[in-house]
């Protein structure tokens, strides 16, 4: 078996075993070995009696179990870990744990994050005569049936004869489709050693050679004729580990690149070919016109969510588009089947298209510009993000929760590829604090900067307890506008107000980290400098901002959404 995630060929998205036929391995041990084959070194969750036997096996393995404060948080943490690391896993008990995890797994499905859900359940022998065992909902399969809807593949390991194959089927689907998978182990199956020889034998995925060649010929010929081509790069470039292939394609043909919000930072945003974020009418005018005037828009790994497309204000004519992602390949109105995204990019590059070049719109990367503090000025969202922009370096991961944390962060310039994480499509509040935990485990040593609205913080902020427990030192910025600012702009009302908390005092309660409370630019500047200069401790900066304040991007979004709700 492949021992590292890197062993998965990004083009084939499958791994093949050269190991001898297995025997004498229990179902739990087989699953644990296969998780490691996919590079999983940490599993997030909370134990319970139905999953304790599996937890005991996990603890004997090299995989570290990370206990969380809530199961949905374990799901968000595993999701962020997967986005950074390639695959993640959460392990929870039956129904009370699993059903609490459902929302985060739904988000992972929607945003294509490869998370494996592992859950215990009542033993098969305990189910005889249909007893009312604790945590049961309707019948014993309720949780399985829920997750069948939320995952790309789901299984209950109730039959030892096919258990290994089922584990492989689910994990292969997770790796291939970058969507969550579900593995339920009835507790009396954990230690069962299947009495069948088994060898992992999933053939690698391959493109249909003729379809691939025809598609690449057609795409390259069109790109060569194009006068104003542009690439829109989407999140799948990151999920399928195709960043280098994308860059080789763009650099070979000198093709300008834009990205969408969910895929923000699929290439480093300081790259000379990078034009900026394209979000329909929400993007900067120069970017919107640069893309929409194009005679050949090459959408790679993109999926057209409403938010990515600026609440469908994007004006992209299919007659001028190549759309290639993991599910479809369409060149204008020609549809190709059985062509893998990575193969399509590689083969089109190999044909060395030679399009016309056009001048890129100018960008302000803030290089060398020093943020000049205006003493005594109240802090605004726009100024907060300008100051933060100045601090980002190659060693930073930025995580943004939904609300103005996300919209304001869209203007940050991310210096490295794949360093921006946000639930920018499913937009479930509360993602960021647990995601901070997951990203910290996935990439220890980097500085995680997390931006969270006060509303979202009140949902899951307690997960910082686990961050502190494990000694991580993210900088957590809480945007305190005393409520649901985004919604206030859509529909004002008392339901958008929340109880004010002293967020900066949380480190005291949690027994670790340092809290800062800021109201002015000067105070923010000082707190951020201090936070950056102090490693080894979580830094929480509570930023009081005006109830009417909002980022420019939110201004544009509110205008568009306001017309629709
Ligand atoms: C789990 C969840 N519940 C409700 C919503 C609807 N919603 C979208 S934005 C928002 C307000 C967010 O408030 P906050 O986190 O303080 O950010 P702000 O809008 O103030 O920047 C709400 C309630 C959601 N997206 N997710
Ligand atoms: Mg708020």
Q: pLDDT tens-digit profile of 35-74? A: 999 999 999 999 999 999 999 999 999 999 999 999 999 9
Residue 221's pLDDT band (boundaries 50, 70, 90)? very high
What mean pLDDT comes out for the span 395-418? 87
Q: Which of 102, 381, 427, 484 to mutate to test the pocket of ligand 1 (most atoms within 8 A of CB)?
A: 484
Taking alpha carbons only, the member of 341, 399, 311, 322 closest to residue 178 is 341
Closest C-alpha residue for ligand 1 atom 3? 429
Of 35-44, 407-416, 422-431, which range is least confident? 407-416
How does the average pLDDT of the chain come out, rounded?
A: 90
Task: Give the pLDDT of residue 560.
Answer: 61
- The mean pLDDT value for 379-384 works out to 95
Cα torsion 160, 165, 167, 172 to 10°: value is: 180
pLDDT value at residue 362: 80
**Cα 203 to chain center, whole Å?**
28
Q: Could you give the CA distance from residue 373 to residue 382 in angstroms, rounded to a whole number?
A: 13
Q: In the chain, what percentage of residues exceed pLDDT 70?
A: 92
Position 13 confidence tier, pLDDT thresholds 50, 70, 90 = very low
pLDDT surpasses 80 at 452: yes
Tens of pLDDT, residue by residue over 98-127, are: 999 999 999 999 999 999 999 999 999 999
Whether 181 contacts 117, CB under 8 Å: yes
CA distances for 206 relative to 153, 209, 222, 343, angstroms: 20, 8, 25, 9
Weakest mean pLDDT among 13-17, 398-402, 431-435, 467-471: 13-17
Q: What is the pLDDT of residue 558?
A: 66
Residue 38 has what DSSP assignment?
T
Q: Are 175 and 14 in contact (CB under 8 A)?
A: yes
| Packed helices 142-150 and 98-110: angle between N→C axes, nearest 10 degrees | 10
Atom of ligand 1 nearest to the CA of 103: 1
Picking from 528, 486, 466, the residue whose alpha carbon sits closest to that of residue 401 is: 486
Testing ligand 1's pocket by substitution, the residue of 382, 429, 485, 488 carrying the most ligand atoms inside 8 A of its CB is 429
What's the pTM?
0.92
Say if ligand 1 is within 6 A of residue 107 CB: no
pLDDT at 368: 57
Higher confidence at residue 229 or residue 203?
229
Residue nearest to atom 23 of ligand 1 (CA): 484
C-alpha neighbours within 13 Å on the C-beta side of residue 354: 0
Q: Which residues of 115-135 are buried (b: 16+ CB within 10 A; e: fewer)?
A: bbbbbbbbbbeebeeeeeeeb
3-class secondary-structure state, position 396: strand
501 C-alpha to center of ligand 2: Å? 12
Mean pLDDT of 439-467: 97
Distance from Cα 484 to the centre of ligand 2, integer Å: 4
Q: What is the mean pLDDT of residues 20-27?
A: 80
| Mean pLDDT of all residues in 350-364 | 89
Dist CA 408 CA 504 (whole Å):
21
Please identify which residue in the block is written with the tokens 């644990």. 32
**356, 359, 302, 291: which is closest to 329 by C-alpha?**
302
Beta bridge partners of 27: none
479 Cβ below 6 A of ligand 1: yes
């Amino acid at each position: 078996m492949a021992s590292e995630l890197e062993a998965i060929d990004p083009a084939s998205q499958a791994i093949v075993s050269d190991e001898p036929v297995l025997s004498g391995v229990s179902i739990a041990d087989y699953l644990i070995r296969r998780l490691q084959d996919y590079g999983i070194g940490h599993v997030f969750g909370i134990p319970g009696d139905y999953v304790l036997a599996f937890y005991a096996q996990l603890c004997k393995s090299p995989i570290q179990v990370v206990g969380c404060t809530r199961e949905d948080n374990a799901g968000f943490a595993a999701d962020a870990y997967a986005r950074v690391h390639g695959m993640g896993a959460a392990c929870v008990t039956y129904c009370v744990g699993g059903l609490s995890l459902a929302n985060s797994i739904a988000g992972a499905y929607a945003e294509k994050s490869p998370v494996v859900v592992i859950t215990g359940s009542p033993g098969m022998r305990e189910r005889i005569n249909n007893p009312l065992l604790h945590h049961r909902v309707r019948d014993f399969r309720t949780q399985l049936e829920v997750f069948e809807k939320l995952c790309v593949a789901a299984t209950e390991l109730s039959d030892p004869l096919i258990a290994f194959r089922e584990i492989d089927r689910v994990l292969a689907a997770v790796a291939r489709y970058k969507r969550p998978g579900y593995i339920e182990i009835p507790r009396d199956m954990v230690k069962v050693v299947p009495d069948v020889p088994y060898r992992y034998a999933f053939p690698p995925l391959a493109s249909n050679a003729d379809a691939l060649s025809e598609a690449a010929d057609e795409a390259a010929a069109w790109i060569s004729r194009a006068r104003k081509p542009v690439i829109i790069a989407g999140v799948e470039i990151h999920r399928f580990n195709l960043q280098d292939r994308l860059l080789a394609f763009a650099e070979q043909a000198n093709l300008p690149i834009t990205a969408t919000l969910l895929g923000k930072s699929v290439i480093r945003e300081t790259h000379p070919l990078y034009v900026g974020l394209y979000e329909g009418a929400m993007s900067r005018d120069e970017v919107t016109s640069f893309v929409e005037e194009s005679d050949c828009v090459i959408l790679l790994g993109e999926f057209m969510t409403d938010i990515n497309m600026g609440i469908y204000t994007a004006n992209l004519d299919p007659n001028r588009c190549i759309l290639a992602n993991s599910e479809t390949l369409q060149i204008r109105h020609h549809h190709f089947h059985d062509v893998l995204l990575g193969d399509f990019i590689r083969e089109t590059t190999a044909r060395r298209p030679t399009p016309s070049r056009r001048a890129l719109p100018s960008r302000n990367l803030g290089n060398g510009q020093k943020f000049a503090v205006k003493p005594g000025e109240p802090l605004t969202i726009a100024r907060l993000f300008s100051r933060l922009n100045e601090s980002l370096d190659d060693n930073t991961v930025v995580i943004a929760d939904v609300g103005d944390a996300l919209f304001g962060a869209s203007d940050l310039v991310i210096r490295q590829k794949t360093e921006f994480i946000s639930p920018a499509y499913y937009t479930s509040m509360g993602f960021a604090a647990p995601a901070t935990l997951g990203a910290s485990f996935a990439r220890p040593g980097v500085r995680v900067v997390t931006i969270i609205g006060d509303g979202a913080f009140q949902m899951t902020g307690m997960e910082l307890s686990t961050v502190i427990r494990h000694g991580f030192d993210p900088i957590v910025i809480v945007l305190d506008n005393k409520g649901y600012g985004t919604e206030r702009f859509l529909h004002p009302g008392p339901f958008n107000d929340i109880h004010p908390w002293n967020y900066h005092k949380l480190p005291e309660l949690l027994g670790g980290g340092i809290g800062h409370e800021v109201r002015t630019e000067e105070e923010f500047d000082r707190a951020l400098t201090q936070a950056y200069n102090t490693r080894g401790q979580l830094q929480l900066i509570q930023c009081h901002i005006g109830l009417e304040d909002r980022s420019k991007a939110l201004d544009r979004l509110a205008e568009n959404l306001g017309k629709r709700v």
